Structures are given as C-alpha cells and as structure tokens.
Structure 1
Amino acid sequence: MSGGHRLGRLARAVRLVVLTIGAAVMLAPFIWGLAASFKPAAEIWSGSLRLLPESFHGWENYTAAFNRAPLGRFLVNGVIVCGGILIFQLIFAIPCAYALSKHRFAGRTVIFGAVLIGLLIPIHVTAIPLYLGFARLGLLNTYAALIAPFAISVFGIFLFRQFFAAIPDDLIAAARVDGFSEWAIIWRVVVPASWPAITAFAIFSVTSHWNDLFWPFIVIQSTDLAPPALGVVYFRRDESGVDFGPMMAATVIVTAPLVVAFLLAQRRFIDGITLSGVKG
C-alpha cells in the first residue's frame, strides 16, 4: 500500500471521527429529551446518565401530555401557519427569483443587492414596528399576524435565484418560441425543474416557523391560536416546570413531524442545496 493511499485512508478516518463526534454533540440533547419522556420524575431528577429508563413511564407521560395541554390544536395551528407562510413565500419568491436570474433590466444588480442586505436583517429589528402596525389594524391574536410578516422571504428569493441561474437559457428560449408567456414559463417549465430547490426551501421555512417562539409569543395571547413552540411554553406554565416527563413528551410530539418530514425529503433537500450553488 502506497504512502499516499495510507494518508488518504487516514484523512477519511479522521473526518469520519470528527463528524461522528459533532453529530453526537448535536444530537445529545434530543436523545436525552426522548429518553426523559419515558422516565418517571424521580428517575429524571436522580442525576443518573442512563438513557434507558429503569422504570418505563412512557404511557403515563404521553397520556398526560395530551390530557393536560391541547397538543392536537397546537399541531393543527403549526400546519396552518407554516403552510400559509410557505405558500405565500413560494408565490412571491419564485417569480422574483426568475426575473433576477433570467431577465436583464435596469436596476437588477441593485435589487439583488437589496435582497442580500435583507438576509442580514433579523425579525427582531422590525418586531416593534410590525407589532404596532398589527395593533392599529386590530390583527393581533390572529393567524394573519403570524403569517403576514413572513410572506416574502429574501432567503427564498436568493436560493431560487441561484438555482434558476443553472437552468439552461435554451430551455427558456424554446418555451418562448412555443408561445409560452412568462408566467407560463415560470409555473410550467421552471417550477417542475426546480423541485429539489423548492423542497430544500420548504424544509428551511417550515422548520424555522414551526420552531419560532419569538414572534408568536409577542402577537398571540390565545391558547387556541398557539403554534407548537408557544404551545409547549403554555404547557410548561400549566405544569409550573415540575412534571418534567410529560413536558418532554410534549416536546417530542411537536418535534417528531419535522424529523419525519426531513427524513422523507432529505435526498431532494441535499440536491437542492448542492445545485443552488452551481452557478451564480
């Protein structure tokens, strides 16, 4: 075996070890939370590092989670809010990204620069003006207050612009020769060719807003409208932070849909992220 081959195998082994350690560190809180959801309170607070429960208490914890908080309602609210946000984001971001990637017009570079600047502005900066605006319109404590601020995603525009730039111009030209309008090209040519990018963006969007606590905590006062992250806060408030097993069970329940969705879409997600950087 040559020296170069040995060094290559050693480098791969080191990368594998580093990635394994990093994955273990990232997954440790989730694994511990899942294990705690199957344990009685006394065992959780015993200080033991055992993952497997000595006394299985999963049925009691998960039953208590559903009985003591409207978790089903929280999940439905999460689907409504995340689905509404994603639909509006796609409706606005796809045409904007298509125009920036496939059309030449005055100010295109300036507009794209504004999109990049928008990536640097977090929701916390605009939270107070948005809150005051919704308060004046009487829209606090509504689905509109949860959806409207995120209807336009500059990250979505940037991601789709990068992906659309890799679509051959000849394909767009052929569609124009066939008599397609620009809107028809977008929805009948570009979108079907862009499902990896759409899937990747959908995972980013849904994960971000499903886990969002900051904005819902400001604009929502009713338990009936609480999305999953805020719902868990209400659950903790009801439990006063004492019954930790059911609280961990509730956290597992609201996290599970995201894990399942990612596992089902991971191939398209990876393709979307990879191909979006092919051509700038």
Structure 2
Amino acid sequence: MAGAAVILLPFVWMLSLAFKPRDEIFSTSIQLLPSRLEWSNFIFALTETNIPLFLWNGTVVVLGILVFQVMFAVPCAYALTQRRFLARKLIFGLVMIALMVPFHVTAIPIFLGFAQVGILNTYWALILPFIPTAFGIFLFRQFFAQLPSDLFDAARVDGLSETAIVWRIAFPLALPAATAFAIFSVTTHWNDLFWPMIATTDPNLATPPRGILYFRDEESGDNVGPLMAAAFIVTAPLVILFLMAQRKFIQGLASGGIKG
C-alpha cells in the first residue's frame, strides 16, 4: 500500500492541479482538494492548443508501430521455436544482444539515414525505427516455445502452409502474449518524447508528449493548470487501455516466463 501510494502520488497531484484555479496552484500552502473545480483549464487545453490533433498523431504512430511490429515479430518468433534451420541459436543470441542496445545509441545514425532519404517530418519517420523489435520477438518466442510441436505437425498434415499456421493457429493462441506486448509497445511509444523531438519539427505531426510542450509561456512560465489538464487527457487513454486488458496482460507475462 505504501509503495502504491508513492507511485500514485504524482498522478493524484497532477489531477489536483488540473482542477485548481491559478491562485491556488501557486499558493504557499499544500492543498490536495481544490476549493472549486476549474473546468477552464480543460477548455483552454482543448481549444488553445490542438490536443485532438496530438492525440490523433499519437494514435496513428502507436498503432502503425504495433501493427508492423506484430507483423514481423510473430513469424520470426515462430520460426525460432517451431522450425529447424542453421544458425537458429545464433540468430536468437543476436536478438538477446539487441535487447541490451538502447535506442539512443542508434538514434543519430537513423536520423542521418532518414535525412538522406528525405522522410523526416513524416509519420514514417516516427514509425520505421521501431518496427524491428527484439523484445517482441523474445516475448512471442517464449510463448511459442510452450506450444506442442504436434499441434503444428497436424496442421501441416492437413495441408496448411507455414504462413497459415502462423496466423490461423499460432497467433490466436498467443493473444495473451500479444496483449501484454501491445500494452508495452503502446505505452512506450505514446509517451516517447526523445525521438519525435529529433525526427519532426512540424507542429502538425506532434505526438501527445511533444504537444504538451506548446503550453510553455515565455513571459510567466509554464501555464500549469492547462498543462496538467492536458497531461491528464494524454494519460487517461493509457490508463483505460490497461484496465480493460489487465487480465490478459498478466496472463501474457506469466505464460511468457514459464519456459525458456
């Protein structure tokens, strides 16, 4: 309970500031509950800056990343567990090594390559670097390793191709792992500020975290009330998503760690 309270305190304080009038925000006394609900903070956040556009950009980016990640990670993970070929262990070792390489190390080479190709300031610039996902391959590989080979052998006897086996048999069985991976992927890229700050300069392509930066006021400092209201609007979809998928998220993590 104490640990949960410490973790939740910043979110509770964010919600408190989002509903406080300006004079109470800068008050010297600490007051969790506002004396009145200041809905103008949310109105300002939704009207003075283009929060709906930022939310739309974030949705396009995270869904684009997730679809391509699943499209490539699932067949790769299936091949590493259910197919026998040379260098299979070596490839899986390279996947494990890739897990240890932070994205920040490769950000500058990727930026220079995108500049040469001319795709900076596009949705593709925000999506393409994250399509190869070592974590996704690892998570699905751990799940597929638990499935009996006889199941896939029977499908081959029935005449299914390997592609059909992946998407009609393996992937539906891996939905708990897919849910867990989807929550990790969406949360990571929805909250990412580092790469959008590098890859885009167009305000019309700003993702939610970068869009929040537009609340800065050079004369009086950050506009705290609307800033916290915008932060709440940006955070709420992730909280709702996790609460809806909580059970399958836990199942996916548990099933992915049983067998190596």
* TM class by smaller structure: over 0.9
User: What is the aligned counterpart of 1:179 among 155, 159, 166?
Assistant: 159
Contact 1:119 1:155 in 2 (8 A): yes
Q: Percent identity?
A: 58
Distance 1:147 1:272 in 2: 25
Compared CA separation, residues 268 and 144, structure 1 to 2 (3 A)? same
User: What is the aligned counterpart of 2:43 among 55, 63, 85?
Assistant: 63
Residue 56 of structure 1 aligns to which amino acid in structure 2? L
Distance 1:265 1:211 in 2: 19
Once the two structures are TM-superposed, the CA of residue 172 in structure 1 deviates from its matched residue by 1.1
Distance 1:198 1:239 in 2: 47
Partner residue in 2 for 1:29: 10
Partner residue in 2 for 1:7: none
Once the two structures are TM-superposed, the CA of residue 267 in structure 1 deviates from its matched residue by 0.4
Partner residue in 2 for 1:40: 21
Once the two structures are TM-superposed, the CA of residue 143 in structure 1 deviates from its matched residue by 0.5
In structure 2, runs of 5+ residues without a counterpart are: none
Partner residue in 1 for 2:230: 250
Distance 1:175 1:117 in 2: 33
* Aligned pairs (5 A) from 1:10-21: 20-21=1-2
For residues 194-241 of structure 1, the C-alpha deviation after alignment (integer angstroms, 9 at most, x for no partner) is 110001000000000000000000111111101111111123367863
Partner residue in 1 for 2:63: 83
In the alignment, structure 1 residue 117 sits paired with structure 2 residue 101: no
Compared CA separation, residues 48 and 225, structure 1 to 2 (3 A)? same
Distance 2:12 2:162 in 1: 49
Contact 2:215 2:226 in 1 (8 A): no
Residue 215 of structure 2 aligns to which amino acid in structure 1? F
Residue 24 of structure 1 aligns to which amino acid in structure 2? A
In the alignment, structure 1 residue 266 sits paired with structure 2 residue 242: no
In the alignment, structure 1 residue 190 sits paired with structure 2 residue 191: no
* Aligned pairs (5 A) from 1:208-227: 208-227=188-207
3-state SS of 1:104 partner:
coil
Once the two structures are TM-superposed, the CA of residue 55 in structure 1 deviates from its matched residue by 2.6
User: What is the aligned counterpart of 1:160 among 118, 124, 140?
Assistant: 140
3-state SS of 1:51 partner:
coil
Compared CA separation, residues 36 and 173, structure 1 to 2 (3 A)? same
Partner residue in 2 for 1:73: 53
Compared CA separation, residues 240 and 78, structure 1 to 2 (3 A)? farther
Contact 1:223 1:234 in 2 (8 A): no
Q: Quick check: which has more Rg, 1 or 2?
A: 1
Query: Where in structure 1 do 4 or more consecutive aligned residues deviate above 6 Å?
Result: none
3-state SS of 1:191 partner:
helix
TM-score, normalising length from structure 1?
0.90
Compared CA separation, residues 211 and 238, structure 1 to 2 (3 A)? farther
Distance 2:154 2:8 in 1: 48
In structure 1, runs of 5+ residues without a counterpart are: 1-19
Residue 49 of structure 1 aligns to which amino acid in structure 2? I
Aligned length: 260
Compared CA separation, residues 154 and 240, structure 1 to 2 (3 A)? farther
3-state SS of 1:74 partner:
helix
